Amino acid sequence: MSVTTKDAPVLTPRPSGGVMQSVRDSLVVAKRNLIRMTRIPEMVIFGLIQPIMFVVLFTYVFGGSISIGGSTDPQLYKEFLMAGIFAQTVTFATAGAGAGIADDMHKGLIDRFRSLPMARGAVLTGRTLADLVQTTLTLVVLAGVALIVGWRTHENIGKVLCGFLLLLLLGYAFSWIGALIGLSVRTPEAATSGGLIWLFPLTFISNAFVPVTGMPTFLQHVAEWNPFSATVAGARELFGNTMPGVPKSVTGAWPMEHPIIASVIWSVLIIVVFRSLAVRKYRSATV
């Protein structure tokens, strides 16, 4: 028995078990999703429009109004802002991941995959890997737009690339949250709403768009222990975009004092927890 769709390669059943089988099955599912994306280019185009709008609006609307380290120089705000926009972009891909899995559930494709002797979790791993590729392409385009509007880095290329890898690791971690949401709802529309509603407070109660020094004390603690904030601070450090006059931490929070290490720990923890929950849900989910 085999399963195929009009835009997917054939999945041939094999005896279950083994790391290599899990890798092969995951790559086949990832290929299937990437082929689907190329045949629906508006998915990629619309995914680019929103972050580009955020870059332009925040840069030119708020750029001269927000004080960074006591200065309202628009160039300082551009360098402060971009790590936050990049992080927001990779995490907002969560909604797309959840909607894609919910759509496959709604069409019965997930049930067909589960009827095959595929490696456990391969369908979800393949989906998240495909989303990671799409997020990477989006990030490349967004970085180009950021350079056009005046963003600059002040570290060597190795550190800059590590900054983008840190962002992509967070995006991949959050895609597993999206996978769990997609398996837990009945329609793609519900998955999109469920994937976005919690992201807005997560991204705005952080150091992404403004320094946390102006927040109420209790929100400062929330923002500085926010995994999103750790990634933003880590990326800024690797890009050389740390601002003079802006302290690493207002509350003395460990993640803000060691943002790169904290970001990796947060991302790995999210992957371990939510991958386990998503795979368990996948085994029992029904339309």
**Whole-prediction pTM value?**
0.86
C-alpha 170/C-alpha 166 separation (Å) is: 7
* pLDDT at residue 284 greater than cutoff 60: yes
C-alpha 55/C-alpha 73 separation (Å) is: 17
pLDDT in tens, 220-250: 999 999 999 999 999 999 999 988 888 888 8
Q: How large is the average pLDDT for residues 102-106?
A: 79
Residue 41 pLDDT: 76
Residue 202 pLDDT: 92
Q: How large is the average pLDDT for residues 273-277?
A: 93
Residue 11 pLDDT: 45
pLDDT in tens, 157-196: 999 999 999 999 999 999 999 989 988 887 888 888 887 8
- Local confidence band at 2 (pLDDT 50, 70, 90 cut-offs): very low
